[in-house]
Every structure is written in structure tokens, then in C-alpha cells.
Structure 1
Amino acid sequence: MQMTLPETGFLRLPQIIGNPDAIPPVPPLIPVKKSCWWAGVKTGRFPKPVKLGPRVTVWRVEDIRALIARA
């Protein structure tokens, strides 16, 4: 099952790397583990996040689309 991405907006980490424990399970757009994702953000391999609040971190849909297109 492929997730349909909106043209603009934000995605949270489980929407990007997936969450098999969710009901219904969320398939990954980028199939990596959480630690690998954050290491990639730190090195610049993956896009930088946007902080919406002290406990809310998101990524721009446009940045994730560009990442998928590069792969």
C-alpha cells in the first residue's frame, strides 16, 4: 500500500519511516530505522526537520518528495 503525499504540508517521522505497530500499519516512504534517519539528518543525507513545538518535529512534504526523487 503506497501512501499518497499531499502537494504541500508536513509529515511526522512515523509517516516517513513507517510504523508497523500502528492500527492500521503505516508503510514506510523511506525504509530506514529511526536511528539511521536521525544520523542521516545530522550528516545532511536526509532533510532538516521543522520544529512546530517543543515535542513536535515535522518535515516538509516537498523535501521528502525531493529525497524520494533523488533515490
Structure 2
Amino acid sequence: MNTSKNQKIENNRLIRRKEVQVKTGLCGSSIYAMMAKGEFPKPLQLSERRVAWIESEIDQWITERVESHRATNAILEA
């Protein structure tokens, strides 16, 4: 049970924009432009002037991009 609790804590970890940029390879303006189009997870408001993203949502977004890329390549190779 301890592992499950630790895993939930890790999945709910909040990360700031710089870490989101490192994880995704996107710049800040691209992140905000994609959020405006509904193509990227939106952050949580931590305070009046601070936001953070849920790490598991960013990880899921990355996974979906990789899966889409692989599916496209598989179709092109078939």
C-alpha cells in the first residue's frame, strides 16, 4: 500500500513551467498558444501570480504524442 500511496503522490506532483518546457521541448509561448487551442493541459492556479501543471497530465500528453507519431509511421510504412 505504501508504494501505491507514493505513486499517487508522484502522479499528482505539481511542476512549474520551466520543468514543463524541459519535459516537452516546447517554449513558453508554444505552451500557452497550445493551451489556448485546447491542445495542451491547463495549469492549476496556485496563487494570484503562480501556476503549476500536474505532472501526470503532462506525461499523458507526451505519451499521446508519441503514440500518435508511432501510429502515423506504422501507416506510412505499411
TM norm structure 1: 0.72
Larger radius of gyration: 2
Q: Which runs of 5+ in 2 are unaligned?
A: 1-9, 66-78
**What TM-score do you get using the length of structure 2 for normalisation?**
0.66
Q: In structure 1, what is the Cα distance between the partners aligned to 2:54 and 2:12? A: 7
Structure 1 residue matching 2:23: 3-state secondary structure: coil
Gaps of 5+ in 1: 1-5, 18-27
Q: Distance in 2 between matches of 1:34 and 1:61?
A: 16
Distance 2:27 2:56 in 1: 21
Equivalent position amino acid for 2:51 in 1: T
Once the two structures are superposed, residues 5-33 of structure 1 have per-residue CA deviations (whole angstroms, 9 ceiling, x without a partner) of x332111000110xxxxxxxxxx111111
Out of 48, 51, 56, the residue aligned to residue 62 of structure 1 is 56
User: What RMSD over aligned residues (CA atoms) do the two structures have, in Å?
Assistant: 1.0
Secondary structure at the counterpart of residue 26 of structure 2 = coil
* Structure 2 counterpart of 1:47: 41
Name segments (4+ residues, structure 1) moved above 3 Å. none
Q: How many residues align?
A: 56
SS at match of 2:41: coil
Match of 1:13 among 14, 17, 31: 17
